[in-house]
Structure 1
C-alpha cells in the first residue's frame, strides 16, 4: 500500500519548518520536496499541489487563497495554516476536541482551516462554556495572551535574537493596540458570540510557549472547572488541571516542546480566570496541523506528536 503523499507549501516559514520537523521523522508518509530554486515558481508549485494527497499551506493569506485555486482535482486535501479560511463556512475548523461534530468533519474534510495560536487558547476555554450554557453568547469577554517571540515568525525571531537588540525587549511587549487582532474574527465565529472579545496580545522574551487567559467576572470557578473537565474528558491533546492549577503560579513556557494544551481554572464563586497553557508552535500551529492530518488520514491522532 502506497504512503500518503504530503506537500508543505511554504516549508521555509516557522510553521512550515515545524511541520516538516514532525513529519521528517516518520516513515508512514511520503514528503514531496520542491527544489529550493523553484519554490516560488507557480507552475512547479501547481504540480506539487496536485500530486499530493494532503497539502499544508504555510503562507500569507493572499498566497494561501491563490494556492487553493491552483488545485485542479478533487483528490488533494488541504490544511491551511493561514488566517484566510478560518471563518469560511465551506472550510472545516481544525480543532477536533471542541465536539464530536468537529472531529467527524475534520476526518472527512477536503478543506481544513488550522486554528490561530491566540484563538486556540481563547476558543478552548470559551467554546464549551457557551455551548453548555455556563456563559451567554453576549457575555463581555476579555482576554490577554502572552506568547513567546517565535509567534511573530522569522522577522520577530531575528529581532529578539539580535545581539544589538532594543533593550526594551528584555520586558514584555503589549501590541495589537487597535484591538483588531487578526484572530478576533475566528474567536467570535467559532464560539458563536454576539460580539468579539476585548483582546490584548503580549510577546515575551522567550522562544516559544503561550498562556492565554480569559477573565470571567460573576462566574463561579467551580462550575467552570467542572464544565471544562467534563467537556474534555478522555481527550489526548486537551487536559484540565485541578482547580487552582498544578502549582500556585503559571509560567507561559511550561508546555514548550509539546503538542498538547492544558487548561487552568482559578478563582472563586464570584470571579474566574481560565488560562490555556500550550506551545504556540505546537497545539497553536504545527502540532495542531499534524494532528488534523492524522485524523484526516485515519491514523492515531497522536502519531509523531508529543503530549
Structure 2
C-alpha cells in the first residue's frame, strides 16, 4: 500500500475518456489528482514531469501516442491504457476483473493494465462465460452487432452530431463495413475464439448508451438451453461481480440502448424462444465501456475501495 494518498495523472485529459475519468476522480479524497495546465498538454517535457510525480497514469490517447507515452513513464509507475494499443499484449493485464478470479488477481498485481474496448466489453461479457463453461465451442462463428451512442466516437463525432447536425446522422448507421473492427482481436483473444466473429457496430443519434447483441440457434450450445436457464447461468457466473448482473426479461418487451446511460453498470439480458436465443449486454459506452471500467481497475491496482468513484 502506498504511504500517502496515491497521485494519479490523466495523460490525454482533454479527450472524452479523459474528461470522464477526471469527473469521477476530482472530488475523491483517497487520491491526489494531478492536473496539467491545458496549454501544456502537448508539451512532452511538461507531461514527463507530471508522469514522474504520479503513482498511476491513465493513457487516454490514440494508439501510437499511447505506445510513445509508455516510454516517457518511469518503469515503476502503474499505467492503465485506454487505447487499443496493448489489449492483446501478454505483458499487459486485461482490465476486466469480473471475468474470473485470475483476471482480477492479474489486475491487482500488474503494473500495466489495458482497459477493454467498449464494444468488446459487451461481447466478451456474454461470450467468455459461454466458452469458459463449455456451453459454446470456440470454433463457433458468432454474429454480433453493437449499437452505441455517438459519444463513443470522441470529440470529432460529438461535434458532427451536436453541431453540424447533418441529415445523414439522424438515422442509425452501420460502420466498420469491412468486418475488421479494431476491437475484434481482443474479443478473440479474451474469449479464446478460433474463428473471427462477424461483428457489426452501429452508431445512432443519441449521446450515451450501448447495446451489444448475439443471436443463436439452440443447436449452437453443447447442452439443452432456454432463456430461463441461461439467465440463471449468467446470474450465477456474475453473482459476486461489482458492476455486472443478469437481468430479468423487460416488462415492456423492449431494450433501449440508453437505459443504463450515465452509470458504470452492465446488465446481461437473455430472451428468445424454445428454438432461438438472444443474448444482450446493456451498458454505457462511456461507463463500463470506457471510463468507469478504467476507474474500477485503478481502485484494484491501488488497493482502494472497489466501488469508489463509480456510479452504481
Query: TM-score under structure 1 normalisation?
Result: 0.96
Structure 2 residue 228 is the aligned partner of structure 1 residue 226: no
In the alignment, structure 2 segments of 5+ residues that lack a partner are: none
Q: Which residue of 1 aligns with 2:157?
A: 156
Rounded to whole Å, the distance in 1 between the matches of 2:53 and 2:216 is 48
Q: 2:12 aligns with which of 4, 10, 13?
A: 10
Rounded to whole Å, the distance in 1 between the matches of 2:211 and 2:203 is 10
Q: Which residue of 2 aligns with 1:61?
A: 63
Q: Which residue of 2 aligns with 1:196?
A: 196
C-alpha contact (below 8 Å) 1:146/1:212 kept by paired residues: yes
Cα distance, 1:246 vs structure 2: 5.3
Matches within 5 A, 1:230-249: 230-242=236-248, 244-245=249-250, 247-249=252-254
Q: Which residue of 2 aligns with 1:105?
A: 106
Structure 2 residue 284 is the aligned partner of structure 1 residue 276: no
Cα RMSD (Å) of the superposition?
A: 1.2
Between 1:30-39 and 1:272-281, the stretch displaced more is 30-39
Q: Which residue of 2 aligns with 1:217?
A: 217
Rounded to whole Å, the distance in 1 between the matches of 2:275 and 2:187 is 24
C-alpha contact (below 8 Å) 1:253/1:279 kept by paired residues: yes
Q: Which residue of 2 aligns with 1:44?
A: 46
4+ long deviations beyond 4 Å: none
SS at match of 1:285: helix
The one-character-per-residue Cα deviations of 1:23-76 (angstroms, maximum 9, x if unpaired) are: 0121111111112222111122112222211100000000000011112332x1
Rounded to whole Å, the distance in 1 between the matches of 2:99 and 2:251 is 23
Between 1:229-238 and 1:203-212, the stretch displaced more is 229-238
The one-character-per-residue Cα deviations of 1:97-131 (angstroms, maximum 9, x if unpaired) are: 00000011111110000000000000000000000
SS at match of 2:282: strand
In the alignment, structure 1 segments of 5+ residues that lack a partner are: none
Rounded to whole Å, the distance in 2 between the matches of 1:196 and 1:260 is 27
C-alpha contact (below 8 Å) 1:49/1:55 kept by paired residues: yes
Rounded to whole Å, the distance in 2 between the matches of 1:67 and 1:247 is 47
Q: Which residue of 2 aligns with 1:24?
A: 26
Rounded to whole Å, the distance in 2 between the matches of 1:247 and 1:119 is 27
Between 1:43-52 and 1:143-152, the stretch displaced more is 43-52
Q: 1:304 aligns with which of 299, 303, 309?
A: 309
Aligned length: 304
C-alpha contact (below 8 Å) 1:261/1:277 kept by paired residues: yes
Cα distance, 1:166 vs structure 2: 1.8
Between 1:221-230 and 1:114-123, the stretch displaced more is 221-230
Q: Which residue of 1 aligns with 2:262?
A: 257
Cα distance, 1:224 vs structure 2: 2.6
The one-character-per-residue Cα deviations of 1:228-248 (angstroms, maximum 9, x if unpaired) are: 111101222000012x34541
Cα distance, 1:270 vs structure 2: 2.3
C-alpha contact (below 8 Å) 1:143/1:213 kept by paired residues: yes
